[in-house]
A and B are shown apart, each in its own frame.
Chain A
Amino acid sequence: MGPRLEARLSGGDYWLGLPGGVRNHPSAPFFPESSPNRVTSRHWRSMMLEPDLRTYSQTTVVRGSFELEEADGVAAPAGAPTEGAPTASVDGPAQAFARSRSDARETVRARIIGGSLGEGRRVAKSFCRQAGRPLLDKMALGMEGAPACARLRA
């Protein structure tokens, strides 16, 4: 399976996680040590159950903090994506974000799940480009942390 993209807006800053690039990253506790390149469907489903999301302004972009310490025991509410069929749902927020770039662009958070590192990087670069920002690959720069879309300060 190729990499999939999930994007959320958060109250904090954003980062873009690549398979293999987020091992031990403090912001990515849900990536199991045993399989850092792939999340289980249980974890994945839990990511979709973020309870703090809300509609923001006139767009479909959502905003909320994203915390997931432990997926076990999380009950899926009615209408939640089922195992094995999350792709359509998770692409939606990213597209909405790309359409509404003027809204809280600084706060988008995206994760790429599965696939090879090279595939993930290509998706990441494409995602950043949709947002009008280049991808900063920190690993290539000798810096710790996941690659990220550039944040502009002026």
Chain B
Amino acid sequence: MTPFEDRTWLRAAALALALALAGCPRHESSDRCSTAALNTAVLATAQDWYLFADTIPAAIDPAAYATPAALLDAITANARAQGKDRHFSFLTTVTQAQQFYTSGQSLGYGFVQAVRGTQLFVASVLAGSAAADAGFARGDEILSIGTSAADQIPMTTLLAEGTLGSTLSSSVLGTTRVFQVRRVDGSVVQRTATTRVYDLDPVPAVAQPVLSVQDRTVGYVQLRTFVETADPPLRQALRAFQAAQVTDVVVDLRYNGGGLVSIAETFASLLRANHAGDTMYRMHLNARHVADESTTAFGSLAEAIAPARVAFIVTGRSASASELLVNVLQPYLGANLAIVGGRTYGKPVGQFAFEDKDCDAALYLISFQLLNADGTGDYFAGLPDANFKGASCAALDDLTHPAGDPTEASTAAALQWIATGACPTGPIPPAVSSALAAAAAEPPWTFPEAPEPTVAQRHMPGLF
């Protein structure tokens, strides 16, 4: 789950619930979709299933809150103060959740943006999106945005005023914006894109999925987000690795904020052939549901491989299911697993989805914590933590080269570690941002957030 440290998500949730209430055709005459009814359901659900149920204020009156989102904010306030639920619990619509998780689609332009200082860059472009059709590419710097060439607003202004998201209006279908763009080669061009629904392209194609590094054959695969439509291309990628007899794998999760645990399970099993039945993780629930706690094992998949070394490329925006994938493999791979890039976000907990389809309302409530085979999963400050058994290599996210290009900084560091067991710039330090910035004389990347983030934007930081 992508973190949203400000409170803009509350507005999104309130909007979602307002839309849900407005679109309640089967119950217009009843009060089942009313704020009062939804508030009652939200509190009852939280008291029953919230992982941090013991932190819910004792005297909380659901009738005292104007929206379910406001109530949820109060319910989670104490856990948030403890750093355990940093707006991970949220409300949305069933429709939007299904569009993302099941259909693997989103609405917008289809590019991931990253900010460095007062500059905005394109970190990733999703194939088949409006941004791809407009010619955007990784490394483009967006200089200004407007509704036409004549009313361009400089990026410095948009970032200083915090109006980038509202100016883009990416969640409004049919929004057209004109962009002034400086390409990696220094040339300045104008690009025009109109928002539309597009496939998320969860496993993007790369120029060189199999690389030769010294005497090793390395497979590279990137996973943008854990949605259901990622399953077939992940298996396809692993089948190609089987055919190429890869010895090691680089898994690129640098902008992946999580998604479906089931896809993480599949991916973990794909990277660990011949070990079906070994413990993958144990699901810890709150005290009311200890009897429902369960253990999940690695599966036996035909496309699975057994790489000697696995390097995960991550950043501070790699979260949740991405961290789960690393955490469940590290007890088994030990020093043959590495994370390359920066410290991960730190979300070892996840949500159950409580949906009311008739009201088109969905509560995503933190309900479980997943512990690996060693019983560890407390990395609220990110990975690596004190229990981490693998290696870590600090590396920059080099937007001047495509992800997966052997000359791109993080990819190069991962390949070097696989080939030699050594990192080019040392391990990931506790304060990765300042250390990396000092080493590179550049400030770290941050990812802009939408004023009313969609489910897709929660899981794919910087997506517009």
Contact = CB atoms under 8 A, between A and B. Distances in A.
A101 B296 contact: yes
B368 interface: yes
A101 B299 contact: yes
Given A12-B102, A132-B283, A141-B44, A152 B354 contact: no
B228 A144 contact: no
Interface string B22-53: 00001000001000010011001100110000
B349 interface: yes
Interface string B292-324: 101110011110000000000000000011001
Most chain B CB within 10 A, of A58, A101, A136, A141, is at A141
Nearest to B283: A132
B196 to A, nearest CB: 22
Contacts of B359: 144
A41 interface: no
A143 B98 contact: no
Interface size grouping (class) on chain A: 20 to 34
A132 B147 CA distance: 50
Nearest to B350: A154
Contact of B41 (A58, A143, A154): A143
Nearest to A107: B228
Interface in B203-250: 226, 228, 231, 235
Contacts of B368: 152
Nearest to B353: A151
B1 interface: yes
A140 B40 CA distance: 12
Given A104-B231, A152-B350, A153-B350, A145 B358 contact: yes
A105 interface: yes
Interface in B243-290: 258-262, 264-266, 269, 283, 285, 289
A152 B262 contact: yes
B101 interface: yes
Contact of A13 (B1, B41, B102, B235): B102
B299 A152 contact: no
A57 B48 CA distance: 37
Contacts, number: 117
Contacts of B352: 136, 150-153
A134 B235 CA distance: 28
B102 A153 contact: no
B364 interface: yes
Given A13-B98, A102-B299, A142-B41, A153 B351 contact: yes
Contact of A143 (B45, B265, B302): B45
Given A133-B294, A138-B354, A153 B98 contact: no
B321 A136 contact: no
B338 interface: no
Given A101-B299, A132-B283, A132-B294, A152 B260 contact: yes
Interface string A120-154: 00000000010011111010111111000011111
Nearest to B300: A102
Contacts of B350: 152-154
A58 B302 contact: yes
Contacts of B48: 140-141
Interface in A87-114: 100-107
Contact of B261 (A13, A26, A129, A154): A154
Interface string B69-110: 000000000000000000000000000001001100000000
B269 A102 contact: yes
Interface string A10-52: 0011000000000000110000000000000000000000000
A13 to B, nearest CB: 6
A151 B265 CA distance: 13
A45 B286 CA distance: 41
Contacts of B370: 154
A145 B357 contact: yes
A152 B289 CA distance: 15
B289 to A, nearest CB: 6
Contacts of A27: 357
A80 B319 CA distance: 47
B357 A150 contact: no
Nearest to A102: B299
Nearest to A125: B292
A134 B289 contact: yes
B199 interface: no
Nearest to B323: A154
B299 A154 contact: no
A116 B262 CA distance: 32
A145 B261 contact: no
A98 to B, nearest CB: 12
Nearest to B269: A102
A136 B49 CA distance: 9
Nearest to B258: A154
B101 A153 contact: yes
B302 A153 contact: no
B355 interface: yes
Given A58-B301, A107-B228, A153 B261 contact: yes
B343 interface: no
Contacts of B299: 100-103
A88 to B, nearest CB: 26
A138 B49 CA distance: 12
A153 B355 contact: no
Contact of B32 (A106, A133, A140, A144): A144
14 contacts: A13-B102, A26-B358, A58-B301, A58-B302, A106-B228, A129-B292, A136-B352, A141-B41, A141-B48, A144-B358, A145-B355, A152-B262, A152-B283, A153-B259
Per CB-CB distance, the 4 closest pairs between chain A and chain B, nearest first, are A102-B299, A154-B350, A134-B292, A152-B261
